[in-house]
Amino acid sequence: MSKALLLAVGIGLLLPAAAWANQDDNDDDRSGSAMNNEDGWRNRRYTGPVLAVDVNAVVRLRNTAKHHVQPGVGGRLGYQIWTGGTTMLTPEAMFEWNHFEEDNNAIRVLGGLRYSAGEVVRPSVFGHAGWGRVTFPGDDSDHAFAVDAGAALDVYIANTIAVGAQGAYNLINLDVPVDFLTFGAHLQFTF
């Protein structure tokens, strides 16, 4: 499991470095400058850091007596890479806490990729892999390999600020797997 986490973090660090090293200083569309287009919005086709905060509703799918909606919060830090046209690839790291019921919680630290397309409205798909820990009632806990996959829709309300909604399937691969759905809203800042 630790090899997979190291691989995800390594890819998350190497891809932005490679994009920065290959960036052409004379290409204004990729420079990250505050160049405005005809409607006054900053051109969002550039390479740069991304910071996001997620607030989710969490529904556990299996191995539970209840399927109540519970809270979850998370944060993402990534590096957006313009790949041409209106498409972006964002290697990102994320931390997430999810509450299931009573004393049952999950913490996940994941690395992965997000692929998005669009200008003011930008749909995306994403996948992450890494480490997950689940605490059970009675101070018992276990950890294992964790993954998620999902989709999101961002709407830019300012040049570098987007609000959006997301949904994902999540799995922590314990001896008795813990899988759950998350769906919610996020606020994203692009620098």
5-32 tens-digit pLDDT: 445 445 554 444 444 444 444 344 434 4
The C-alpha R_g of the chain, in whole angstroms, comes to 18
Burial 161-188 (b: 16+ CB within 10 A, else e): ebebebebebbbebeeebebbbebebeb
Please tell me the pTM assigned to this model. Answer: 0.77
Spell out the CATH class of 2-21+44-190.
mainly beta
Q: What is the pLDDT of residue 5?
A: 47
CB 172 within 8 A of CB 92: no
**Residue pLDDT, tens place only, 40-88:** 444 555 789 999 999 999 998 876 666 789 999 999 999 999 898 889 9
